[in-house]
Amino acid sequence: MEEKKKLNIPSSIAIIMDGNGRWAKKRGLPRNMGHREGCKTVEQIIEDCARLGVDYLTVYAFSTENWKRSEDEVSGLMQLFRYYAGRLLSRAKDNNVRVRMIGDRSRFPQDIIDAINKLEGETNDNTGMTFVMAANYGGRDEIRRAAMAFASDVKAGKQEASELTEETFSSYLDTCGVPDPDLLIRTSGELRLSNFLLWQCAYSEIVITDVLWPDFNKDVLLSCIEEFNGRKRRFGGV
Ligand code: FPP
């Protein structure tokens, strides 16, 4: 592949997939049609990233704040999760992709929890890219749950509070084992983190594109990677 020779492909990419609603509005369609198109983009981008040699792709599918949307929109998104769980499973199998979910899955209806468990279980031995789906995910909520789990281990005598390191704390996060994103992409031009991977993005390079998520494609991805390649990463050093 021509672009692979020229570009340095980041190992870990995270994406805030924004703009589904605006994509639909521009066409006079209901918001859920935007989410439906957005799901098609997710499917395609998983395959593109796996082929480009990305090791970890993390996407923000549903935030802890998204429950505040209308009942109609939330139930539409649940329907999409149901439908796409099956498609994702066969795509993941075809592409040797391992699927993981981060976020608090306990709030989802039981059939969706079962589908997520199945996706993780049946792809766990795949050795290619890891696709991480953030669902009912919030960075603060993740840190809160990690702090609770750590405190409980301290109480049980398994940890020493005064010896807590960043590495140990990271191991209590949902993303345990997933390297911090090298590149964080946000679509649709907004300049916010929106509670996504707050701990993990400490040194991620952020690239914002005006493209709305349903219109995102491999060419846009490659231009984001090109922008990333132009950055000098110093991790706080000089
Ligand atoms: C942001 O667009 C998008 C979301 C809140 C949901 C994103 C979800 C998907 C693309 C579906 C993912 C599904 C699977 C199975 C991985 P917005 O609605 O905030 O857009 P707006 O800012 O233009 O209103």
Q: In what order do the strands lie in the sheet with 183-186?
A: 98-102, 130-137, 56-63, 12-16, 183-186, 205-208
Residue 133 pLDDT: 98
Q: From ligand 1's centre to the CA of 42, what distance in Å?
A: 10
Residue ranges of domains in the chain, CATH in brackets: 7-138+180-225 (3.40.1180.10)
The token pair at 117 is 């468990």
Separation CA 225–CA 8 (nearest Å): 8
| Residue 2: its H or E element | helix 2-6
In this structure, the residues whose C-beta lies within 6 A of any atom of ligand 1 are: 17-22, 35, 38-39, 42, 61, 66, 80-81, 84, 133, 188, 213
| Residue 137: its H or E element | strand 130-137
Q: Which atom of ligand 1 is nearest to the CA of 34?
A: 18
Q: What does the buried/exposed string (b/e) look like for 45-60 if buried means 16 or more CB atoms within 10 Å of the residue's CB?
A: bbbbbbebebbbbbbb
Separation CA 87–CA 85 (nearest Å): 6
Separation CA 200–CA 86 (nearest Å): 29
pLDDT in tens, 61-113: 999 999 999 999 999 999 999 999 999 999 999 999 999 999 999 999 999 99
Q: Which residues of the chain have pLDDT under 70?
A: 1-5
Q: Quick one: which of 22, 55, 28, 40 has its CA closest to 187?
A: 22
Name the residue of 18, 62, 99 to mutate for ligand 1: max ligand atoms within 8 A of Cβ.
18
Residue 5 pLDDT: 56
Name the residue of 20, 77, 105 to mutate for ligand 1: max ligand atoms within 8 A of Cβ.
20
- For this structure, is 126 an active site residue? no
Separation CA 45–CA 75 (nearest Å): 24
- For this structure, is 66 an active site residue? yes
Residue 234 pLDDT: 84
Catalytic residue selected from 66, 95, 126, 229:
66
Separation CA 82–CA 112 (nearest Å): 6
Separation CA 104–CA 149 (nearest Å): 14
